[in-house]
A and B are shown apart, each in its own frame.
Chain A
Amino acid sequence: MLYFPLRLRKEPVRLQFCMCFGAASKGTPVAIPGTSLAPQGPSAHNTDGIFEDLKAIQREYGYLPTDKLQAIADARGMHVREVFTVASFYPHFHLTAPARVDVRVCSDMSCHLRGAGLLKQELQTRLSNQGPDNCSIREISCLGRCDGAPALLISTKNEEQIYDSINGERAADIVVRKLAGEPLPHTRPERIRTEIHSDPYIGTQKYGVLREFVKSRDFTGVVAQLKASGLRGMGGAGFPTGTKWEAVRNCAGDEKYVVCNADESEPGTIKDRFIMQHLPHLLVEGMILAGLVTGAKSGVLYIRHEYEHPAEACQDEIDSCYRENLLGSNILGSGLHFDLKIFISPGGYICGEETALIEAIEGKRSEPRNKPPFPVFQGLWHKPTALNNVETFALATVILARGVDWFKSYGRNGTAGVKFVGISGDVRNPGVFEVPMGISYDELINGLAGGPLPGKTIKAFAPSGPSSGYLPASMLNLPLDWDVMAKPPVNSMVGSGAIVVCSEDACMLDMALNAVKFYRNESCGKCVPCRVGSQKMVDMLTAWTQGKQNSSDLQVLDELSHTMMLTSICGLGQIVPAPIQSVLHHFRDEVDAHVKQGRCPAGVCSVGGRA
């Protein structure tokens, strides 16, 4: 009759790392009838490894059919709503069949500055004849390729690739070829474009600190050195690392965890990608040391799924550590144990929030927990957990290898330490750089990153993505200093060192709206201020860009900002107001030009008839 059974060739699971749907994660999938998945042993938690099940289904069907969700639920002894609630949370899982080729253009900060909007329009024109079943073109949140803006992601049923520094012609060509049956072209890992001074192992045997430590077992010495170095969390929050490790060490019980947050997803943040790609041994050694110091037997390296090549590099490093008995049981004959595995994030900026990240590892909706209790006491599986950023673990290794004095003396202008920063946006030479703390933003932007694009001037810069707000070019001489940046009159932050530069072509109101849209898109929706407030802020700022402002708007925005900052559960909701507040503070004239004179000085917004 007219029924054509869809029997699709089952491809063997790729052994190499496939970014979004890779086999690198070693969760505990349960055998699902009708799929190629085999059970990998029991788990105490029925949600453990659920993303591997969902990915397997999506690889096979292109989306998640309802009956397959039921099958997962049955196999895991769960209710189907528990599987559905998780699957529906992550946009990377399709609940209905997507187009054969799905093109998603990054729409955040750096890509926005470098023409993502025009790229999307061009693709829509070029691919308009393909039909919606074959090709869809949408926006996506920051892909972590800010130094190669604009970037886009092309995905099909079982392939996914990110292309950066791309134009409409090439992207359209890839799509057309894919529809004609060719595979997606592969991309190469990034190259180093900075001098590395911090790596203590250039020309010597790696894992020197670890080899020394298993002999000395000087647990307190490690904590003392970290405390003395003043090392703080490099993810942005800045909690002292030594204190954190010590607290976990002092917790009672055998079951403890070390978790590395490599989910950097904030627009402009690309430094962890660089460290994992080029200095994975510093990260892995830092995690092993953290495990041995805190007494954790197990570690999880949580990597965002868009980081295909860095995750491969880390997996290679971990494999080699197991071969050399630097990981696993009885490390180097010491009787100490530590296992480390990679967990590929199911996706979303919110997963970078520490408790939301833990929820994701546990196979749940990535919603932040109410704190306290903090992860140090109740983290992964509600056990004590030392959770740090990639750079923090790497720098811990550097400090322990080179000594506290080296680390402290490396900084300039009275600040201590070394920092990895990503510089992107309207600069000639965007990329990741290893720099001493205390260096000025002027040196970073006009020096290392090559200054503004030809013929342009710098109008503003964000020291750490949207979260830091925007500062005017007149503040470029500020130093990369935690305290100076956080205190009045700057009221910004060094944060994760995600420096995004705006030229005179950028409209700062538009940039604020772009940042708030990012937060709105990435809000998990758990609490009211963030879920509803971020949308209402987008509504208000959108009206402003169209020249429409109610007389009460500034008052309402102020009240909303305070409420979001004070009542949101996590840092995402608390930081949403930062971009627009900074723009109102430093670029009030530009905002007023929109709402009082009906014109966008940069000619970006639709007000005043400009497109």
Chain B
Amino acid sequence: MTPVKEITLTIDGRQVTVPAGTTIFDAARMNGIPIPTLCHQQNETPVGVCRVCVVDVGSRVYTAACIREAENNMVVKTNTDPVQASRKTLVELLMSDHPAPCARQQHSGDCELETMAKNFAISTPRFAKRLTPSHQKDESSLSIMVDHSACILCDRCIRGCSEIRNNFVIARQGKGYAAAISFDTDDPMGSSSCVSCGECMVSCPTGALTNKHVVGQELGLAGGTSVEAQELLALPVFKGVSGTFLELNKGAVVKRHFKKGEIICREGDYGSTAFYVLEGKVDIFINSPRAHVDTEGSEQGFLSKLASKLKPRKEHQREEENTQRKYIHIDAPVDLEYDHPVAQLQAGDLFGEMTCMSFYPRSATVRAAEDTVCLEMLRNVLDVLQKNKTFRAKLEQNYRTRALETHLKSVPIFASLTQDFIDRLRDRVELQRFTPGQVICRQGDPADSFYLVRIGFIKVSEHHPGGELVLSYLARGNYFGEIGLLSAEGLRTATCTALDHVEVVKILGEDFREMLERFPDVRASLQAVAQERTDENRARIHNLQNVPVDDFLRQGLMDAQSLLVLDLDRCTRCDQCVKACADAHDGITRLIRDGLRFDNFLVATSCRQCRDPLCMVGCPVGSIRRRNSLEVIIEDWCVGCGLCANNCPYGNINLHEFPAPQGSVGVKATVRKATSCNLCYDHPEPSCVYACPHDAAHRVNPPEFFGEMLSGKKVEPVPFSMAPGMMDRR
């Protein structure tokens, strides 16, 4: 072994001896002489960028102690007045742009820059403040808060991310005063390849990267036991998660024990947590009666007393549809059969992801089938877990082995796929996650795969010279990407954007094509659906192009497909329409004679059957949807959570209590169900229109009705049955 070469130098008048290769910073520290610094940390390669550690070694300029190696006979002065003055100016420069007190200072009082400023007695920096910050706050990550204005570009996070964690997400971008840290290609942190390991926020000296304080972070510990970071890290699924992160987020995950038969969560309840089953088994089921609100009346006289009540599907078959739903999609790795909506989950399963990530109401009731232990977690913990490679792999494995098959079979179009083909797909599908606002595929890009929606809601839209037109919203059970793959051009015809936390199952183009080849009936149905979607879109655009928009669009009327309008020249405010509606719907009106005015027409508050039906976004069980005709209907398995009523921007959906039908599984005497105008689909025309004694109420198709009016041609409202676009109803 060669003896270590030693270096002797003088620091602040003291002769010290250190091994060759030691930096001045370390040589001083080892001899009890502290040198202040912002950018240097013992566990990271020195970069010498903050310059606070400069020392005088007798050269023309000072040198950064953190990166300069000690040399023999070097004379180092770490604490002269000019050196201290320079350090103070550097700190003052940084403080002039610093949002004091920054997030770190506010939460834990340990912002290193602010502490240093205090030590240098800098109260108000004498330099001008930054006028226009190049970057603002980035709150896209669920566990880490980014405030670029507090960033001093010390590069500590960059080194933490790369050298320590080997994640390679953070780097500098831009140059000069506009330089900033960025994630991947300057993506929001939440949609970058960041795995939320937390190393950057641990490394950060200021409030630029801090632990995000999630609403309701401290889970009530009632019935649960707090879990130490050590215990969690010992679980296979937490392998690789940052211990610091878990320490900082103590309380965001608790362990809960459930006795056999105990309810873990109830459908329709609001929540913000997900559950991971550690031990035991749970039953997951839908408790609400699978029945819909129905109004009975005679064809002869609508004035006769009508009654609404809940009717199960068996007794009252609704108008036949293209596809009969056999499964109910819920927020768990399984789908429930319509006729027997019960399934079982076991250790290693995760449920409540949508509730946790996007705060949707619970989609199903979960009850312990035996004594069960679960981890209940908030979304920052779930997010970190889902980005964790080990956990991800396990989730994917669960999906492939257990859920893919039912998922595929729950989509009627794929019902005929054979077992061997599903087995082939098993190893080839990929689960992909998207954050709110992230584009999944873009109009005009080459189409390379087909997607099934597993979690979340997706907006499908097209770009037009005037802006964006929403074509539809997709939820679990829906699929997209087939039009591009089936078309000759092979290009995406629309843009699909994640509305919330979305997870899709990606099926590669080649597998998709093989499926079409092997299963001609799948091809036929897919082609039919694709054609239908394409035609529908074309018709919409045609309508749009024929109408002068401006005002019309602004009122949201263009989005509507069907409006109830009252001609104010004729209307005597007799409220017969409202009464008729109430009569038709068990005494509860779905129509309020008030709303927007357009010229001499009042657009009454009743379902407009929007093109862009916001009410459908978020339904935890997918029970509100649009029929192939026009109306928005609420399906039998509505759990009465009321989200759609909240979502409707026009206040046109109401919740009503109904007596529970006999023989239903429910325990309550009444059940809540959402209702909206159904255009009185089982009557020749809507009751309100029929009832108006003054011929003032009309159901119209807005683009055509207002279109002609806007283009200067004064039109008489056409009778409902003749209204364009309404013909297919008959």
**Which A residues form the contact surface with B (CB < 8 A)?**
1-3, 5, 66, 69-70, 79-82, 84-85, 88-91, 95, 348, 350, 365, 370, 372, 520-529, 531-536, 539-540, 543, 550, 552, 556, 559-560, 562-563, 565-569, 574
Complex contacts, A1 vs chain B, CB 8 Å:
462, 493, 537-538, 541
Q: Is the CB of B175 within 8 A of A89?
A: yes
Given contacts A528-B50, A531-B153, A532-B94, A560 and B89 within 8 Å (CB-CB): yes
- Could you mark each residue 487-520 of chain B with 1 if its beta carbon is under 8 Å from any beta carbon of chain A, else 0? 0010101000000000000000000000000000
Supplied contacts A70-B185, A532-B177, 10 more A-B pairs, CB within 8 Å: A1-B493, A1-B541, A3-B463, A66-B185, A522-B176, A527-B49, A531-B176, A543-B128, A556-B126, A560-B93
Complex contacts, A3 vs chain B, CB 8 Å:
443-444, 463, 491, 493
Sample of 11 A–B contacts (CB below 8 Å): A1-B537, A81-B183, A84-B186, A88-B186, A521-B176, A525-B172, A527-B48, A528-B49, A552-B126, A563-B85, A563-B89
Complex contacts, B64 vs chain A, CB 8 Å:
370, 569
Considering residues B50, B61, B96, which has the most beta carbons from chain A within 10 angstroms of its beta carbon? B61
- Could you mark each residue 159-176 of chain B with 1 if its beta carbon is under 8 Å from any beta carbon of chain A, else 0? 000000000111111111
Q: Top 9 nearest A-B pairs by Cβ distance?
A: A525-B179, A85-B171, A79-B168, A539-B128, A563-B89, A88-B173, A81-B171, A536-B127, A532-B93
Q: Is the CB of A523 within 8 A of B177?
A: yes
Q: Is the CB of B176 within 8 A of A520?
A: yes
Q: Is the CB of B62 within 8 A of A567?
A: yes
Considering residues A521, A532, A550, which has the most beta carbons from chain B within 10 angstroms of its beta carbon? A532
Complex CA gap A528/B464 in Å reads: 46
Complex CA gap A559/B130 in Å reads: 20
Question: Nearest-CB distance from B85 to chain A (Å)?
Answer: 6
Complex contacts, B50 vs chain A, CB 8 Å:
527-528
Q: Which listed residue (B67, B82, B183) contacts A566, Cβ 8 A? A: B82
Complex CA gap A350/B175 in Å reads: 10
Q: Is the CB of B172 within 8 A of A85?
A: yes
Complex CA gap A365/B193 in Å reads: 22
Q: Is the CB of A569 within 8 A of B172?
A: no
Complex contacts, B175 vs chain A, CB 8 Å:
88-91, 348, 350, 365, 523-525
Which residues 171-222 of B have a CB within 8 angstroms of A?
171-179, 182-186, 193
Q: Is the CB of A563 within 8 A of B86?
A: yes
Q: Is the CB of B128 within 8 A of A540?
A: yes
B673 CB-CB contact with A under 8 Å: no
Question: Nearest-CB distance from B537 to chain A (Å)?
Answer: 8
Residue of A nearest to B66 (CB): A370
Q: Which listed residue (A90, A531, A569) contacts B179, Cβ 8 A? A: A531
B97 CB-CB contact with A under 8 Å: yes
B30 CB-CB contact with A under 8 Å: no
B51 CB-CB contact with A under 8 Å: yes
Q: Is the CB of B51 within 8 A of A81?
A: no
Complex CA gap A528/B153 in Å reads: 8
Residue of B nearest to A567 (CB): B51
Complex contacts, B541 vs chain A, CB 8 Å:
1-2
Complex contacts, B47 vs chain A, CB 8 Å:
370
Complex contacts, B182 vs chain A, CB 8 Å:
81, 84-85, 88
Complex CA gap A454/B628 in Å reads: 84
Complex CA gap A574/B61 in Å reads: 9
Question: Nearest-CB distance from B491 to chain A (Å)?
Answer: 7
Complex CA gap A539/B97 in Å reads: 13
Complex CA gap A365/B175 in Å reads: 9
Question: Nearest-CB distance from B389 to chain A (Å)?
Answer: 16
B254 CB-CB contact with A under 8 Å: no
Complex contacts, B86 vs chain A, CB 8 Å:
562-563, 566-567
Residue of B nearest to A84 (CB): B185
Residue of B nearest to A532 (CB): B93
Residue of B nearest to A365 (CB): B172
Q: Which listed residue (B54, B89, B176, B464) contacts A525, Cβ 8 A? A: B176
B152 CB-CB contact with A under 8 Å: yes
Q: Is the CB of B185 within 8 A of A528?
A: no
B415 CB-CB contact with A under 8 Å: no
Q: Which listed residue (B128, B169, B491) contacts A81, Cβ 8 A? A: B169
Complex CA gap A197/B89 in Å reads: 50
B68 CB-CB contact with A under 8 Å: yes
B568 CB-CB contact with A under 8 Å: no
Complex CA gap A70/B171 in Å reads: 15
Q: Is the CB of A562 within 8 A of B85?
A: yes
Q: Is the CB of A81 within 8 A of B126?
A: no
Question: Nearest-CB distance from A315 to chain B (Å)?
Answer: 29
Given contacts A527-B51, A532-B93, A536-B93, A85 and B61 within 8 Å (CB-CB): no
Q: Is the CB of B171 within 8 A of A565?
A: no
B347 CB-CB contact with A under 8 Å: no
Residue of B nearest to A79 (CB): B168
Complex CA gap A529/B518 in Å reads: 68
Q: Is the CB of B82 within 8 A of A567?
A: no
Q: Is the CB of B51 within 8 A of A536?
A: no
Q: Is the CB of B96 within 8 A of A536?
A: yes
B90 CB-CB contact with A under 8 Å: yes
Complex CA gap A89/B176 in Å reads: 9
Q: Is the CB of A524 within 8 A of B176?
A: yes
Q: Is the CB of A529 within 8 A of B168?
A: no
Complex CA gap A532/B154 in Å reads: 13
Q: Is the CB of A88 within 8 A of B85?
A: no
Q: Is the CB of A528 within 8 A of B176?
A: no
Complex contacts, A81 vs chain B, CB 8 Å:
168-171, 182-185
Q: Is the CB of A529 within 8 A of B93?
A: yes
Complex contacts, A5 vs chain B, CB 8 Å:
444, 489, 491
Complex CA gap A82/B185 in Å reads: 9
Residue of A nearest to B187 (CB): A66
Q: Is the CB of B48 within 8 A of A80?
A: no
Question: Nearest-CB distance from B509 to chain A (Å)?
Answer: 16
Q: Is the CB of B51 within 8 A of A88?
A: no
Q: Which listed residue (B90, B97, B152, B177) contacts A563, Cβ 8 A? A: B90
Q: Which listed residue (A79, A85, A529, A565) contacts B90, Cβ 8 A? A: A529
Complex CA gap A534/B177 in Å reads: 8
Question: Nearest-CB distance from B501 to chain A (Å)?
Answer: 22
Q: Which listed residue (B177, B183, B489) contacts A531, Cβ 8 A? A: B177
Question: Nearest-CB distance from A450 to chain B (Å)?
Answer: 37
Q: Is the CB of B463 within 8 A of A525?
A: no
